[in-house]
Amino acid sequence: MARHGGRGWYGRVLAAAVGVTALAAATSVWTAQAGPVDGQHSARPAAPGSGTGRAPVSADIAHASDHGAQGVNITIDDGPDPIWTPQVLQVLRENGVKATFCMVGTQAQAHPDLVKAVVAAGHRLCDHTVSHDTTMDTKSHSYQSRQILDAERMITKASGGVRPLYYRAPGGAFTPYSRHLAASRGMRPLGWNADSKDFERPGADAISATVKNEIPHGPTILFHDAGGDRSQTVAALRELLPWLKQQGYSFGFPVR
């Protein structure tokens, strides 16, 4: 569920991030050991990013598209869902569009076939934490670490080994610590510019109108494929994807 996309929030986060390098160096985070993916893992302390085999990326919150000024990024949150994710995938396939799926760890664990279908279709994965706690910015570093790293492990296992390339905080609840931890794991923090408000289920026409009004503000559009009835989202995507093409937009991925 959307709270904010990170642009206004980012200014506050940046101010709070003074000395975060020292914080990251001094603070241990939890690195998952081999074992069942159950959200409660054995762990050992490790420096952020150590032993991941992944090059760190920028800890700044991404909004831009890798397709440049006329690029848009379709992002789909909170799934996968056995009813709505296949329908979203079908609409994307019909329009030749690739998207970024921000998956909740428990959902990925429950529906690995859908995670694999997302990857097989050429879409990208994003870590959306284990339990979608929109208050996690108020929680301890150890709690934030477990939410991010356990979800990364769940999604990677469900996908058959494909790791998420981004991290999106639930409701935009980023912290300097969570951003730097995710970046050290090779997951770029991901915001949004245009909130479709589809989570509120205002009707497909209202969702489409909101996106059309918001897209001048930036390229990354937020939709959902879980958390309730997403038939309005599917219908809105059917209208919006061709409309965006008609406006001269191309579909890309968030910058890394």
- Whether 67 is a known active-site residue: answer no
Tokens 């492990």 found at: 153
Could you give the domains of the chain?
A: 7-17+70-252 (3.20.20.370)
Predicted local confidence at residue 55, as pLDDT: 85
40-54, 93-107, 146-160: least confidently modelled range: 40-54
Measure the CA angle with vertex 40, ends 35 and 42; round to 5°.
50
User: Closest Cα to residue 155, out of 127, 179, 192, 194?
Assistant: 127
Q: List Cα–Cα distances, 130 to 54, 190, 200, 219, in angstroms.
A: 21, 16, 22, 27
Asked if 181 and 142 count as a contact pair (C-beta separation under 8 A), the reply is no
Amino acid (one-letter) located at 227: G
With contact defined as beta carbons under 8 Å apart, do 26 and 157 qualify? no
Per-residue pLDDT reduced to its tens digit, 121-133: 999 999 999 999 9
pLDDT value at position 26? 32
> Catalytic one among 41, 111, 132, 224?
224
User: Which comes out higher in pLDDT, residue 176 or 23?
Assistant: 176
Q: Quick one: pLDDT band at residue 53, thresholds 50, 70, 90?
A: low
The tens digit of pLDDT for each residue in 134-180 reads 999 999 999 999 999 999 999 999 999 999 999 999 999 999 999 99
What DSSP element (H or E) covers 195? strand 194-195
Catalytic residue among 41, 77, 111, 198: 77
Q: Is residue 133 flagged as an active site residue? A: no
Lowest mean pLDDT among 22-31, 180-189, 204-213: 22-31
**The two structure tokens encoding residue 130:** 């284990």
